[in-house]
């Protein structure tokens, strides 16, 4: 059968369905809350050369580019002549995988009629990896848990039991972690079975012609989008909280013809704590932000990702080398899109939003009995919460909505069934969106206390407390976040802290920046916002100039 262009299109669609099925299998079987509830995973298919040809659309842009880069590392370290049918490889190396030890990337070579034709890869966030547990307080990656270098998890169908045993003895929640490793392998196998069907349906014996078709088309379309942008170098700089000291994030975005380079030279040096970001993760989020604005409709594959070049000087906080601690690299990683989009705004005004809360406010709570001998069981509770997005050039920002991350929050009722705590409030934070012709999205207020007999420890990993999200084109800044107890005690934005029995934790999540001069906002809209309580009386009068 001679394959036509239509056949190639159908096969491209099919590959996207294959990786969706791979991802679905993982979501359904995973234990990790963040995989299941929040889509913190990635799945994709690669050709023999290690080029990604299709990737499932999931909740985490952070994995997008990162996983695409990982397969060539596997090919190099395993060695081409050491790749056998029935093999499965893995790593959680933050610098060769997706940025921290909690993410395992599993790669399975695909064979068709005895011939090696490509790879499946999948990444998931596991519940625990030993060390100090998920939090920013470590000073070296060694304290953050077990690092498994690129190696074979399964060879020719035989599980590496020694490795499983080592992992089992180094993590908390062993069954769930080991279970998730098998889930990753199983999801690759599910994708593989579907790929085999396609190979026989279309009478293929290799993937190279198809991967050329996909990658060449995607690359050409992406290059065209870049070429359409005005040439020049555009700068942006953004201060954020960091851990022990504020972090200055700087970027120079150079567009010349159909090339694009984002260079983070001038960005602050590394932190002593786990907020450092490996280069691979910085590149993932920079690329994601730019792609949203420039080429949102072009599917993710090596062809559509390669045209976005991203660099940062080694040793800066956005290119932290081994053995820097990187456990909560997502906090600064999530702020990277705001930095690059700010520069892009200089190039193509009217497309990119104002800055938003951006970094997720993940709350990891440990409920412990006040009396250790009470017999009350301990409990770990993880919540994902989001502040406001920045306003857009023609639309208000989305309130309490994750961006750039794509995760979901959990039901308060479900959370209260998981552990001994009460959520007293989870509501929009009135007046927290930056004023503007288009208003920034609102943050939210969350109030939590331990139930009778318990106290709570929590790992803070919050940003935009000292440096709020800035408005654009005359729009005002969003409200900064805050962390405190109900007796007025101010808590830190990063690190492990105690909520004593009887006290309530109050989190105020940041709002997004406004867009455009607030005086230009439609006065009826201002009035409606005031009636609904989205803005305060003070903002209505002073920012918007409403006659009240």
Partner 1 sequence: MAQNNVRVGVDIGGTFTDVALDLSGALYTGKVLTNYLQPEQAILDGIHLVCKRAGIDVKEITTVIHGTTLVTNSLIERRGARTAFITTDGFRDVVEMRTENRFEQYDLNLSLPTPLVKRTDRYTLKERISAEGEVLTKIDQNELNALVKDIIAEGYEAVAVGFVHSYTNDIHEVQVQKAFEAAAPELCVSISSHVSPQMREFQRFNTVIANAYVRPQVSEYLGRLVTRLIEIGISCPVFMMHSAGGLISVDTASEFPVRLLESGPAGGAIFAAKFASSYGENQVVSFDMGGTTAKICLIEGGKPKTANTFEVARTYRFAKGSGMPLSTPVVEMVEIGAGGGSIAHVDDMRQIRVGPKSAGSEPGPACYQRGGEHPTVTDANLLLGRLDPDLFAGGEIKLSVPMAKEAMRQKVASKADLNEEQAAFGVTEVVDENMANAARVHTVENGKEISNFAMIAFGGGAPLHACRLCEKLDVDYLIIPPGAGVGSAIGFLNAPFSYEATKGMYQRLNNFDPERINQLLSELRAEALAFVERGAGEIETTTTVQAFMRYTGQGGEIGVDISYKDYVDADVDVFREKFETGYHKLFGRTIDGLGIEITNWSITVASKLEPSTPIALRRSGSQVDVTKTREFFDAALRKFVTASEIQRDSLSPGDAVSGPAVIVEDETSTVVTSGYTLVAQDDKSMLLVNKKTMEAV
According to CB under 8 A, which residues from 396 to 455 bind partner 1? 398-403, 406-414, 416-418, 422, 424-428, 444, 447, 451
122 in Cβ contact with 153 (< 8 Å)? no
* C-alpha span between 14 and 215 (Å, rounded): 15
Considering only residues 196-215, where is the footprint of partner 1 by CB under 8 A? 197
* C-alpha span between 39 and 400 (Å, rounded): 18
321: CB partners within 8 A, 6+ apart: 95, 314, 315
Which CB, 90 or 357, lies closer to partner 1? 357
Give the angle 384-387-391 at the CA atoms, nearest 5°. 140
Q: How far is the CB of 228 from partner 1 (least distance, A)?
A: 11
Token pair, residue 473, equals 């084109």
Please tell me whether residue 191 binds partner 1 under the rule CB under 8 A. no
CA 307 to chain centre: 21
Closest CA to 100 of 57, 151, 66: 66
Which CB, 21 or 237, lies closer to partner 1? 21
Q: How far is the CB of 81 from partner 1 (least distance, A)?
A: 32
Please tell me whether residue 534 binds partner 1 under the rule CB under 8 A. yes
Considering only residues 514-533, where is the footprint of partner 1 by CB under 8 A? 531-533
Token pair, residue 401, equals 């909505």
Q: What crossing angle do the helices spanning 330-347 and 279-294 adopt, rounded to 10°?
A: 40
| Of the residues 234, 273, 384, 467, which one makes contact with partner 1 according to CB under 8 A | 384
| Of the residues 395, 490, 537, 548, which one makes contact with partner 1 according to CB under 8 A | 395
Considering only residues 236-295, where is the footprint of partner 1 by CB under 8 A? 291-293
The H or E element that residue 61 is part of is helix 61-78
Considering only residues 39-78, where is the footprint of partner 1 by CB under 8 A? 57, 59, 61
Q: How far is the CB of 473 from partner 1 (least distance, A)?
A: 15
| Of the residues 81, 297, 314, 547, which one makes contact with partner 1 according to CB under 8 A | 297
* C-alpha span between 104 and 65 (Å, rounded): 15
Which CB, 320 or 450, lies closer to partner 1? 450
The β-bridge partners of 256 are 259
Total chain residues near partner 1 (CB under 8 A)? 82
* C-alpha span between 327 and 37 (Å, rounded): 20
| Of the residues 139, 160, 170, 176, which one makes contact with partner 1 according to CB under 8 A | 176
Q: How far is the CB of 437 from partner 1 (least distance, A)?
A: 15
Q: How far is the CB of 246 from partner 1 (least distance, A)?
A: 27
Q: How far is the CB of 86 from partner 1 (least distance, A)?
A: 18
Rg (CA), the chain: 24
Instruction: Give the CA diameter of the chain.
Output: 78
Which CB, 291 or 464, lies closer to partner 1? 291
Give the count of alpha carbons within 13 A of 528, CB side only: 6
Which CB, 4 or 524, lies closer to partner 1? 4
| Of the residues 351, 370, 376, 485, which one makes contact with partner 1 according to CB under 8 A | 351
| Of the residues 29, 139, 170, 309, which one makes contact with partner 1 according to CB under 8 A | 29
Q: How far is the CB of 156 from partner 1 (least distance, A)?
A: 21
Which CB, 451 or 525, lies closer to partner 1? 451
Token pair, residue 382, equals 């993880």
């Amino acid at each position: 059968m001679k394959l036509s262009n239509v056949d190639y299109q159908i096969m491209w669609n099919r590959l996207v369905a294959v990786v969706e099925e791979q991802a679905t299998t993982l979501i359904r079987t995973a234990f990790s809350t963040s995989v299941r509830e929040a889509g913190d995973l990635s799945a994709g298919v690669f050709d023999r050369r290690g080029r990604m040809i299709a990737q499932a659309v999931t909740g985490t842009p952070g994995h997008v580019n990162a996983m695409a880069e990982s397969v060539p590392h596997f090919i190099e370290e395993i060695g081409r002549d050491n790749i056998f049918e029935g093999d499965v490889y893995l790593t959680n190396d933050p610098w060769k995988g997706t940025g921290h030890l909690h993410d395992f990337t599993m790669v399975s070579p695909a064979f068709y009629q005895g011939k090696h034709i490509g790879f499946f890869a999948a990444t998931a966030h596991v519940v625990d990896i030993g060390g100090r547990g998920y939090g920013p307080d470590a000073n070296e990656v060694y304290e953050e848990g077990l690092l498994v270098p690129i190696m074979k998890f399964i060879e020719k169908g035989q599980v590496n039991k020694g490795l499983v045993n080592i992992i089992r003895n180094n993590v908390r929640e062993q069954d769930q972690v080991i279970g998730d490793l098998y889930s990753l392998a199983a999801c690759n196998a599910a994708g593989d079975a579907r790929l085999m069907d396609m190979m026989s349906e279309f009478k293929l014996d290799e993937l190279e012609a198809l991967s050329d078709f996909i990658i060449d088309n995607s690359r050409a379309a992406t290059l065209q989008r870049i070429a359409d942008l005005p040439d020049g170098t555009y700068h942006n700089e953004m201060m954020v909280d960091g851990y022990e000291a504020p972090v200055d994030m700087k970027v120079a975005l150079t567009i010349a013809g159909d090339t694009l380079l984002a260079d983070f030279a001038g960005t602050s040096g590394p932190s002593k704590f786990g907020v450092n970001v490996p280069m691979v993760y910085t590149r993932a989020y920079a690329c994601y932000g730019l792609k949203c604005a420039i080429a949102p409709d072009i599917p993710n594959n090596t062809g559509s990702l390669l045209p976005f070049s991203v660099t940062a000087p080694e040793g800066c906080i956005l290119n932290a080398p081994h053995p820097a601690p990187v456990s909560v690299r997502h906090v600064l990683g999530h702020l990277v899109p705001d930095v690059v989009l700010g520069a892009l705004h200089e190039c193509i005004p009217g497309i990119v939003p104002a800055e938003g809360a951006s970094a997720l406010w993940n709350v990891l709570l440990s409920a412990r009995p006040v009396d250790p001998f009470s017999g009350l069981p301990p409990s770990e509770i993880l919540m994902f919460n989001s502040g406001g997005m920045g306003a857009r050039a023609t639309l208000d920002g989305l309130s309490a909505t994750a961006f750039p991350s794509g995760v979901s929050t959990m039901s308060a009722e479900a959370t209260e069934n998981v552990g001994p705590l009460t959520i007293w409030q989870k509501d929009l934070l009135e007046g927290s969106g930056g004023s503007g012709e288009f208003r920034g999205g609102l943050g939210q207020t969350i109030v939590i206390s331990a139930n009778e007999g318990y106290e709570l420890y929590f790992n803070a990993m919050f940003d935009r407390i000292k440096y709020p999200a800035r408005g654009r084109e005359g729009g005002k800044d969003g409200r900064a976040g805050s962390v405190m107890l109900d007796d007025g005690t101010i808590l830190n934005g990063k690190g492990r802290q105690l909520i004593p029995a009887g006290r309530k934790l109050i989190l105020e999540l940041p709002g997004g920046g406004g867009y455009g001069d607030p005086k230009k906002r439609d006065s009826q809209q201002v009035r409606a916002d005031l009636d609904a309580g989205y803005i305060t009386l003070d903002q209505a009068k002073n920012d918007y100039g409403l006659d009240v």
